[in-house]
Amino acid sequence: MKTALQEFIDNVIPMHIIELDMIKQEIKKALEKEKEQIIISFIHNRYVNAGGYPTRRDEAEQYYNQTYNN
């Protein structure tokens, strides 16, 4: 699985004609994927550390928003 930034690089570097709108679209896609990766990692980490007790997705999203949307 590639990180959001790796995917962004793979999608943007091959473009011979670079248009700002295309780059903005790729950045938005990369940010959404990055957010999802962070949320999934948070849920997994909490699950492992809590001995199998599941974390709700809304808790993970709250963590993301508090940490990365200051």
> Residue 36 — very low, low, confident or very high, per pLDDT cuts 50/70/90?
very high
3-class secondary structure for 12-28? HCCCCCCCHHHHHHHHH
Convert the pLDDT of each residue in 49-61 to its tens digit: 767 676 788 888 9
Average pLDDT of the residues in 10-27: 77
Task: Identify the pLDDT of residue 13.
Answer: 76
Examine the pLDDT at 39 and tell me if it is beyond 80: yes
What DSSP string describes 2-59?
Answer: --HHHHHHHHHTT-SS--HHHHHHHHHHHHHHHHHHHHHHHHHHHHHHTTSPPPPHHH
